[in-house]
Structure 1
Amino acid sequence: MDYETVGADAFGAALRGIGLNLLVRDVPAQVDFLRDVFGMGAHRVSADFAILTYGTQVMQIHADGTYRSHPLLGLLPETPPRGAGIEIRLYDTDPDTAAARADARGATVLQPPTDKPHGLRETCILCDNGYAWVASLPKPETRQGT
């Protein structure tokens, strides 16, 4: 699918499985963060909407105003963090690189890169919208073939 030219109806009809859609105050700023820190692909970026890709996964970002007639908008907190309680896990992102990029941007590295007992090295980074992004890779000793 060509994310740059696909129409909204065809894009929506093609979505399958579990989808992720985040409501944010500033779509272009959120897209810049995700591209810079995690290397995500960004398509159809506007003030209202963006399609993001991470490997073969697709997610969407919508500006708060696009939900003005949706009941979810009334549940958003007036002050951050709005994403409390959700972790968005990016299993194919080097945590050390992501933490360094986030730190360089002035983002909050909630947890520095750490080797965890469940076999992953991970970091937890908060974006300006308060969502927790967890970048991780298998620890070297648990990676396949090592």
Structure 2
Amino acid sequence: MDYETVGAADFGASLTGLGLNILVRDVVAQAAFLSEVFGIKAHRVSPDFAIMTYGDQVFQLHSDGTYHSHPLPSLMPESGPRGGGAAFHLFATDPDVAASKAEGAGGHILQEPTNKPHGLREACILCANGYAWVPSRQLTQEESNTQ
């Protein structure tokens, strides 16, 4: 599917499995942050909407205004972070590389890259909307042996 030219109805009809729509204050800025820090590809970026691809996974960014008739925005804070309790794991992204780019791109490193006992090296990076993005990779054999 060509995400740059697909129409809304065809795109919607193509979605299967688990869908992820993230409401953000500024779609263009959020898409730029995700692309710069994590290498996520942005398609059809507009002030209202973007299609994002991470490997073969597809998710969407929506501006608050696109949910004008949906009850969800009434539960969200007008200011401050929005993403409390949500963590988006990016299992094929080197946390050291992402962390080195995050602050320069407007992110905040909540946890520096750390080797975890569950076999992953992870960082926790907050975007301007307060969502937690967790770039992760498997520990090397050497790293696993030092746990």
TM-score, with normalisation over the residues of structure 2? Answer: 0.94
Distance 2:96 2:139 in 1: 12
Tell me the SS of whatever aligns to 1:31: helix
Verify the 8 A CA contact 1:122 1:135 in the aligned structure 2.
Answer: yes
Structure 2's unaligned 5+ residue stretches are: none
Quote the Cα distance in structure 1 between the aligned partners of 2:107 and 2:6: 33
Deviation at 1:142, TM superposition (A): 7.9
Q: Which residue of 2 aligns with 1:102?
A: 102
The 8 Å contact of residues 89 and 136 in structure 2, kept in 1 or not, is answered as yes
Show CA shifts across 1:66-111 (max 9, x none): 1111111111112221010010000000000000000222421000
Look up the match of 1:57: 57
Q: Deviations over 1:22-47 (max 9, x none)?
A: 00000000000000000011100000
Q: Deviations 1:98-133 (Å, cap 9, x if unpaired)?
A: 000002224210000000000000000000000000
Alignment of 1:15-26 (within 5 A): 15-26=15-26
d(CA) in 2 for partners of 1:35, 1:59: 13
Counterpart Cα distance in 2 of 1:37 and 1:7: 28
Once the two structures are TM-superposed, the CA of residue 141 in structure 1 deviates from its matched residue by 1.3
3-state SS of paired residue (2:110): strand
- Paired position in structure 2 for 1:37: 37
1:126 aligns with 2:132: no
CA contact (8 A) 1:119 1:142 kept: no
Q: What CA distance in whole angstroms lies between the structure 1 residues aligned with 2:117 and 2:16?
A: 33
Task: Give the aligned residue type for 2:120.
Answer: L
- Taking the aligned partners of 2:27 and 2:105, their CA distance within structure 1 comes to 17
Aligned to 1:128, what secondary structure does the other structure show?
A: coil
Query: 4+ runs of 1 displaced by more than 4 Å?
Result: none
Determine helix, strand or coil for the equivalent of 1:130: coil
Q: Does the Cα contact within 8 Å between 1:20 and 1:59 map onto a contact in 2? A: yes
CA RMSD of superposed structures (Å): 1.2
TM-score, reference length from structure 1 = 0.95
Residue of structure 2 in register with 1:48 after alignment: 48
